[in-house]
Amino acid sequence: MREDLLSAVEADFQLLREENERTEISRREEIRRNYPEIEKLAEEREELIHGTIRKILSGGEQAEKLPEIMEEKNARIRTLLREAGLPEDYLSPVYRCPVCRDTGYTGDPVRTRCDCFRKAYQKKLRESIGLGNGSRETFESFDAARIPADMIPEIGRSQRELALFARQQCEQWADRYPENTRKNILLTGPSGTGKTFLLRAVAERLIERDFPVLVISAYRFIEIARKSYFEGGEGMEELLDIPVLMLDDLGSEPMMKNITVEQLFNLVSERNARGLSTLISTNLNLEELVNRYTERIVSRISDPRNTLVIILQGKDLRSV
């Protein structure tokens, strides 16, 4: 997925550069047709640069006076453009990013990706995993005031306290990745208590830190697993290879014979063996998970030595 997204961003930047070039050609043609004095000065400016370079390369005169002459011509061009009702930089190179000039890279001879390229990649990654809908769920947008502060008698803590603790734990995990002692997270609790929000907040933080993430629903996982089981293909490989996999709403998917339990076991076991991180949210408690998926799976997704288990309780926040 990462290589495909990087290629897509490279293609977008190539299209942007081509658009910039068309804009420059169009502007120059407009000047040629309508403003001959500006066109003449622009041509003289170009010839001055190229001629000076040729003389320097051939061992001729140096370019001591070039800056003063160039500034005079540039000042005159800016004045004429302004008088024509055009921006002073109308004939300047066109680009959106002043750092890399829309190449996506900075540095010479060692090139590094520009911040604009990184942001473009992050945007495309968010869109590819369903985070690009405009309503970003982040740790910063977490609103504790929306969560009931009433005490839950059975545990002696409020829903708000549980949610704040869960937020803290998830944010610390996202900030420490990949140096976490426990590689996985299991978020359990009733529907609407903020599990998916926290998963997406972790994903957002990891994307900001340039780590690859894949977020899929448990239902989508079963679709991929079924297709892989019956038709072959490489669908499961991406789930096995991605450094951070987030499996949302485990327990909502259909139970398919020889598919659901077996493929989930293979996925979790293989990712644990590779030292990769798997984050799971579910409405089921541990006992219900055992009844649905067997002890051998639950022991792998809730092992306290390798998994941060976070339990949420309380009311459905969508109805509060």
Burial of 7 (0-12, 13-18, 19+ CB in 10 A): exposed
Q: Is residue 243 part of a domain?
A: yes
- Do 141 and 35 lie in one domain? The reply is no
Query: Is 144 found in the same domain as 72?
Result: no
What are the Cα distances from residue 306, in Å, to 79, 224, 301?
A: 68, 26, 8
Six-digit token pair at 131?
A: 């985070």
Is pLDDT at 27 greater than 80 in this prediction?
yes
Does 176 share its domain with 259? yes
**Are 89 and 152 contained in the same domain?**
no
Q: Which domain holds residue 75?
A: 16-97
pTM for the structure as a whole: 0.75
Q: How many domains does the chain have?
A: 2
> At residue 70, does pLDDT exceed 90?
no
Alpha-helical runs (H) found in the chain: 2-34, 36-57, 66-83, 115-128, 159-176, 195-208, 218-231, 235-241, 260-274, 286-293, 295-301
Indicate the pairing of strand 277-282 with strand 244-250: parallel
173 and 307 share one domain: yes
pLDDT over 90 percentage in the chain: 64
Looking at the predicted structure, is the pLDDT value of residue 55 above 60? no
- Are 105 and 111 in contact by the 8 Å Cβ rule? The answer is yes
Q: Are residues 164 and 312 in the same domain?
A: yes
Residues 273 and 275: their CA atoms lie apart, in Å, by 5
Whether the predicted pLDDT of 61 surpasses 70: no
pLDDT in tens, 92-132: 999 999 999 999 999 877 788 898 998 888 888 888 777 76
Same domain for 147 and 58, yes or no, is no
Q: Does 175 score more than 90 pLDDT?
A: yes
Shared domain for 63 and 152, answered yes or no, is no
Tell me whether residue 165 is in a domain. yes
**C-beta atoms surrounding 106 within 10 Å:** 17
Q: Is residue 150 domain-shared with residue 51, that is, in the same domain?
A: no
* Cα separation, 228 vs 225, whole angstroms: 5
Average pLDDT of the chain to the nearest whole number: 89
Q: Domain of 207: which CATH number?
A: 3.40.50.300
249-278 pLDDT, tens digit each: 999 999 988 889 999 999 999 999 999 999
Do residues 76 and 181 both lie within one domain?
A: no
